[in-house]
Chain A
Amino acid sequence: MTDGTPGKGDAQIVAASPRPMAPTRLALLTALALGFAALAGVAIGTVAWLSLPSAAPPSSTSGGAIWPVSPTPEGLTRDTALRPVAPAPPLQLTDQEGRPFDLASLRGTPVLVFFGYTHCPDVCPTNLADVRDALKLIDGDVGVVFVTIDPSRDDAAAMKQYVDYYQAGYVGLTGTDDEIRTTAGAWGVSYAKVESDSASGYAMAHTADTFLVDAEGRLRHRIWFGAGPEILAARVNGLATEVLATPAPAATPPPSLPAAASPAASTPSAPTPAPSSEVPSPSPATAVRVRLESTVVRAGPNRIVVTVSDPNNRELATPDVAATFTFRSTDDPALAPVEVQGTFIWVVRGGKAAYVAEMTLPRAGGYDATITLHGPAGRIGSVGFVLVAREQSPTPPIGAPAPSVRTPIASDVGGNLQLISSDVFPDPRFYEHSVDELLAAHRPFVFTIYSPAFCPTTACGPLLRYLKELAPEFPAMTFVHAEPYVMRDMGGRIQPEYEGNGYAWAAWSQAYGIPVEPYVFVVGADGRIVGSFELIVGSDEIRAAIRTATGG
């Protein structure tokens, strides 16, 4: 993610025939197109226009006949569903602010994804207008992601100006030629540079279909260009009620799994891709589903994070919804239940949100937990889940000494931060001091282990950006960022080394025992851990821990 502005003139032809096509091939394609159109009852756009032979429909070359790409009456029943239902292909590129973006960060809302380019005057604005009109017909939030297939001209700045124009919170993604090629390939998107004598320079031919990803991150529909807002909206609104031909491959490990993970987690070799368990509501009357995001639950002081949604996967966590947690020991029912009010936090400001429960569990073992949600209009619902507290946790508990470990700093790499950070805009102040130096100097610090570019969990988000924004508030605090993995220099860009089925944990990740990333540790001047935040953390939580660490 280090070179988001590739040189000009190196656009690629991807998965598409070189143009111009030979007339015979055109004729063949046209015949195929018309045959398909007849079979499927589909309007095929203006393919026929391309065809010069007389086999083409009447007066197609004269421009007198137009085959519309616009919606057809049968459009609403046209099958756009993708089967079998499978997770959406990877979509990890650079957003219009120059930040790493992962489609997983939009988990919890359906997302419309389409590919195009900013110099595109007709197709892309038509798609954007259709999507905008569709959103008016859809209940609930929908993410909109526009991916350029013309990275030579569309750098992050161009994407920003383009999507900002729509003022609708759209995400505009770009990347290197390689990244775009890989991403497009994974999504089954073709594109090709088409040279012409137009004053506009080259044009890009590209797959203009719109992809619909459901709230659980599964690719559900591929909707043809020109389908129109009604069909787009119908597909989004139909997600919840649609019968899936194949059962969803949802990760449903036993609820106790995260907390009861094998002791190997304390000497991690690979991150768990999906550290959360999903527990359906035990009662059909309740409409709340909970997802335990935390992987570490221990006897003693705990901080656990959950996300909640309704059965349609709409997020229920909002700033005006209160969450109350109750934990009852199943090993010793005589113990008084622990009740605690959850704290609302944003995972992505204005987007994904979660609740944090901070409580002390009296003993190791199983707990029946309940979350009850109350909104402004009263009780929303309740859901139970089970968790298992371990005797010990792989990460150092609050109050324990922070492990002294050498972390990479700018001077190790001659100031080239891109060799030690996958952050697109690394803040030099985060790479000035190593953890061992700070401990030796008795200076408090915030230690973040996170890979903006390679974070594999659903909790990945703009964490590092938030920390960079927050850092200036605390001049007495030193901020340290380290990639969680052993990184390899791939010609100026770093990539994690593999080990087993995952990335190889770096020495500092192992020293801190983290089973997943991101992790943020706040350490006091006495070298003891004051705050330990797994996966999801609110800015206010960090602020509070920093105040404790600095005695403020």
Chain B
Amino acid sequence: MTPARRLTRLGGLLIAALVVASVAAGCSSGGGTADVKVTDAWARASSAVASAGAAYMKIENTGSAADALIGASSPAATTVEVHETVAMGSPAPDASGDGGMMGMQPVKRLEIPAGGTVELKPGSYHIMLIGLKQDLKVGDSIEITLTFEKVGEIKVTATVRES
């Protein structure tokens, strides 16, 4: 069993425990429940010197109500935030410059639509691990706790790899 599958199972168990709360929350957005699964979680190998690392994963909502990722934490970092890499500035990359500018911004609430999947991946949404407490070495794994609006907390284990 791959770590990712184990995670899914773990996530599923947690969801089961939290399902009552999520139903209640689900009512406000038109009924239905959210059922969130997290798969393929990984963190990029990184030196603690870099001060900030990134983790990526797929978040799938198989429920009938939307949910949203609203927070995260990890013993591997002082602070964990959801960020998004976005293209900024003039959109047309050309030889005159000003093109291809990429920036990053915190995302307070990342909606996971009912029946939808949001992929956190390089160059897009990512879990930003701020103030790494150790080097993230290939083969290690780190724990990240994701907080969703409805299903509450889901603990995932992200394996560290190069890309």
Same complex for A and B? Answer: yes
Partner of B87 from the list A33, A120, A125, A204 (CB cut-off 8 Å) is A33
CB of A302, distance to nearest CB on chain B (Å): 44
Cβ B79 vs Cβ A200 within 8 A: yes
Which residue on A lies nearest to B116, using beta carbons? A64
Which of A16, A45, A50, A199 touches B81 (beta carbons < 8 Å)? A199
A206 at interface, CB cutoff 8 A: yes
Residues of B close to A82: CB separation below 8 A: 95
Q: Does B107 contact A (CB under 8 A)?
A: yes
A135 to chain B, nearest CB (A): 13
B35 within 8 A of partner (CB): no
A47: chain B residues at CB < 8 Å are 86-87, 91
State whether A194 touches B49 (Cβ < 8 A).
no
Which residues of chain B are near A196, meaning CB under 8 Å?
A: 105-106
Given A49-B84, A59-B113, is A32 in contact with B89 using a C-beta cutoff of 8 Å? no
- For A222, the chain B residues whose CB sits under 8 A away are 93, 95, 100
Chain A residues whose CB sits within 8 angstroms of the CB of B125 once the complex forms: 63, 66
A118: chain B residues at CB < 8 Å are 49-51
A301 interface contact, C-beta 8 A: no
Give how many B residues have a beta carbon under 8 Å from the other chain's beta carbons: 57
- Are B50 and A165 in touch, CB under 8 angstroms? yes
B12 within 8 A of A: no
Known: A50-B86, A63-B112, A121-B83. A165 touches B49 (CB 8 A): yes
* Residue with the highest number of chain A CB atoms closer than 10 Å, among B97, B116, B163: B97
A69 & B124 in contact (Cβ 8 Å cutoff): yes
Question: Does A454 sit within 8 A of B, measured CB to CB?
Answer: no
Would you list which residues of chain A between 205 and 244 have a CB under 8 Å from chain B?
205-209, 222, 224-226
Q: Which of B89-113 contact A (CB under 8 A)?
A: 89-93, 95-107, 110-113
Residues of A18-38 at the interface with B, using a CB-CB cut-off of 8 Å, are 19, 29-30, 32-33, 36-37
Q: For window 291-315 of chain A, which residues contact chain B by CB distance below 8 Å?
A: none
B85 contacts A46, C-beta separation under 8 Å: yes
Q: Which of A120, A126, A200, A207 contacts B97 (CB 8 A)?
A: A207
Say whether A283 faces chain B, with CB atoms less than 8 Å apart: no
CB-CB < 8 A to A225: which residues of B?
100, 102, 123
Check if A122 sits within 8 Å of B126, measured CB to CB.
yes
Q: Is B159 an interface residue (CB 8 A)?
A: no
Known: A68-B123, A161-B49, A205-B104. A36 touches B54 (CB 8 A): no
A119 to B83 alpha-carbon distance, docked (Å): 13
Contact of B128 among A62, A190, A200, A205 (CB under 8 A): A200
* B residues at A contact (CB < 8 Å): 44, 46-47, 49-54, 66, 68, 78-79, 81, 83-93, 95-107, 110-113, 116, 118-119, 121-126, 128-131, 162-163
7 A-B residue pairs with CB within 8 Å: A37-B91, A46-B86, A59-B113, A122-B54, A129-B163, A165-B50, A199-B131
